[in-house]
């Protein structure tokens, strides 16, 4: 089954903890600290694999976790870095934050790779905390936590030209005639259950990539039918070919079909109908003798608007070459770079510590308590016994607004602040 959407959980590796140890060699009675640093956790990296064309694999595996870094060892041994996890996706995959639906990366370059989550950094061993006044520190830094999030993957095919129209108007037949694609073709609605891509080769030209978008019906942009599932694939195309059944073999009016398809495209996303488009009046060979020729009505309505109408027969190939060369000329005047969606959200720019909550409360007269995941995490990174660590703690309290909240609660000098087993006397700067 074709899959062009998936939701997965990703998590980078935790950093290894720093080690606490001391030199104990013979003839070194007062050996100093020699605890090694922890290794960095592995990253989560997405990379394009041109051998893939669907997101089917992500329906079976939904959790991706990179390797943690190893803890530091004795005698200054550095822990091994965790291996990064490389996740392969098809060309054209967009990675979005599942919570906000904002774009993190657009994998539209065949050589592209994107680091989505960095691994936690390795903690420093106790050798880094030795000072003239504390020559035997019994403290080492814990490794940083890995980052985690849910992401939505969306595949938007990369094609220069999109074929749009009602089901059974001949899109798949045209694609099979003009390209190397081999779509399944049958005489019933929604024969095409996923976008098909084909390369059109033209004499004297580089040619272009064309996509057969599954047939749309009224209400598709609101979720009716199957066509709405694939409207996103039109977003990257530069030119649209509206294919209509000019012979009205199913009793529909070609102009009415175009108006309804245009409405569905506009309703799906603003600006999508601003793309240049042409009309392919298909099945002209199926018009019976003496029937009204719909070509005149189509040209009268659309050609004054600059929209060219081509009478064709996808089955016999009549008129198809003229259509293709005209579309090719349109593409020559456009930027040949693929349509790329800009990044809207960078998970690595967000400090995970800043997203954690904390509380500041007055417990009783003269005693205040500060706690919460953000505070607990900060203490895990900080050695309050060292002068440097205590200065970091004070800066953290100020920058996070904790001192301001204590002031608002009426704290006075020499009042007590309790923080997870530590007690401090409060003094204003």
| pLDDT tens digits, one per residue of 196-249 | 778 888 887 777 888 887 766 555 445 544 445 667 778 888 999 999 988 887
Q: What is the pLDDT of residue 224?
A: 46
Q: What is the pLDDT of residue 229?
A: 60
Q: What is the pLDDT of residue 307?
A: 94
Q: What is the pLDDT of residue 184?
A: 47
DSSP string, 262-295: HHHHHHHSTTGGGS-EEEEEE-GGGPPTTS--HH
Instruction: Average the pLDDT over each of 53-57, 133-137, 306-310, 352-356 and give the range with the smallest value.
Output: 352-356
Does the pLDDT at position 188 exceed 50? no
- Strand, helix or coil at 225? coil
Calculate the average pLDDT of the chain. Answer: 84
Residue 6 dihedral angles phi and psi, to the nearest 5°: -160, 150
Does the pLDDT at position 324 exceed 80? yes
Does the pLDDT at position 335 exceed 50? yes
Q: What is the pLDDT of residue 104?
A: 95
Residue 336: C-alpha distances to residues 33, 382, 415 (Å): 61, 53, 68
Contact in structure between 235 and 206 (CB atoms under 8 Å)? no
Residue 126 dihedral angles phi and psi, to the nearest 5°: -70, -15
Residue 1 pLDDT class (50, 70, 90 cuts): very low
Does the pLDDT at position 11 exceed 80? yes
Q: What is the pLDDT of residue 14?
A: 94
Does the pLDDT at position 45 exceed 90? yes
What are 348-402's pLDDT values in tens digits? 887 666 667 889 999 899 999 999 888 887 887 677 776 777 778 888 888 888 9
* Mean pLDDT of the 280-293 span: 77
What are 252-283's pLDDT values in tens digits? 889 998 998 888 888 877 778 888 999 999 98
Helix (H) or strand (E) holding 42, with range, is none
Say how far apart CA 296 and CA 372 lie, in whole Å: 74
Q: What percent of the chain has pLDDT over 90?
A: 37
Helix (H) or strand (E) holding 367, with range, is strand 367-371
Q: What is the pLDDT of residue 336?
A: 73
Contact in structure between 165 and 173 (CB atoms under 8 Å)? no
Contact in structure between 235 and 156 (CB atoms under 8 Å)? yes
Q: What is the pLDDT of residue 289?
A: 66
DSSP string, 123-168: PPPGGGG-BTTBSS----PPPPPPPEEEEEEEE----SEEEE-STT
Q: What is the pLDDT of residue 270?
A: 73
- Strand, helix or coil at 168? coil
Q: Which residue has the higher pLDDT, 142 or 184?
A: 142
Q: What is the pLDDT of residue 228?
A: 53
Q: What is the pLDDT of residue 60?
A: 87
Q: Which residue has the higher pLDDT, 17 or 252?
A: 17
């Amino acid at each position: 089954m074709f899959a062009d959407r998936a939701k997965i959980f990703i998590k980078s590796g935790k950093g290894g903890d720093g080690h606490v140890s001391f030199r104990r060699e013979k003839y070194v009675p007062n050996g100093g600290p020699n605890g090694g640093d922890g290794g960095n956790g592995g990253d989560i990296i997405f990379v394009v694999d041109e051998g893939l064309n669907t997101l089917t694999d992500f329906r079976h595996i939904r959790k991706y976790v990179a390797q943690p870094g190893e803890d530091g060892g004795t005698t200054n041994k550095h822990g091994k870095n965790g291996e990064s996890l490389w996740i392969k996706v098809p060309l054209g995959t967009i990675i979005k934050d599942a919570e906000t639906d904002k774009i993190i990366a657009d994998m539209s370059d065949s050589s592209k790779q994107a680091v989505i989550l960095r691994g936690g950094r390795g903690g420093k061993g106790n050798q880094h905390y030795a000072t003239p006044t504390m020559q035997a520190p019994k403290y080492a830094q814990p490794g940083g936590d890995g980052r985690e999030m849910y992401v939505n993957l969306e595949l938007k095919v990369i094609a220069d030209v999109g074929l749009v129209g009602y089901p059974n108007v001949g899109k798949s037949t045209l694609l099979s005639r003009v390209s190397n694609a081999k779509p399944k073709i049958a005489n019933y609605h929604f024969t095409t259950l996923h976008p098909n891509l084909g390369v059109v080769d033209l004499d004297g030209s580089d040619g272009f990539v064309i996509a057969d978008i599954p047939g749309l019906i009224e209400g598709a942009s609101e979720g009716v039918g199957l066509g709405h599932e694939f409207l996103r694939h039109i977003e990257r195309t530069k030119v649209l070919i509206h294919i209509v059944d000019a012979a009205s073999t199913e009793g529909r009016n070609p102009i009415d079909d175009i108006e309804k398809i245009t409405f569905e495209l506009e309703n799906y996303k603003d600006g999508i109908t601003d793309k240049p488009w042409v009309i392919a009046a298909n099945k002209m060979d199926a018009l019976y003798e003496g029937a009204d020729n719909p070509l005149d009505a189509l040209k009268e309505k659309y050609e004054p608007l600059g929209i060219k109408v081509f009478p064709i027969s996808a089955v016999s190939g009549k008129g198809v070459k003229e259509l293709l060369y005209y579309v090719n000329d349109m593409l020559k005047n456009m930027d040949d770079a693929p349509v790329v969606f800009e990044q809207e959200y960078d998970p690595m720019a967000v400090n995970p510590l800043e997203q954690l909550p904390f509380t500041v409360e007055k417990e009783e007269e003269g005693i205040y308590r500060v706690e919460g995941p953000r505070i607990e995490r900060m203490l895990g990174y900080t050695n309050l016994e060292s002068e440097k660590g205590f200065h970091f703690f004070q800066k953290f309290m100020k920058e996070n607004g904790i001192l301001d909240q204590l002031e608002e609660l009426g704290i006075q000098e020499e009042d007590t602040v309790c923080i997870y087993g530590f007690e401090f006397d409060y003094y204003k700067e």
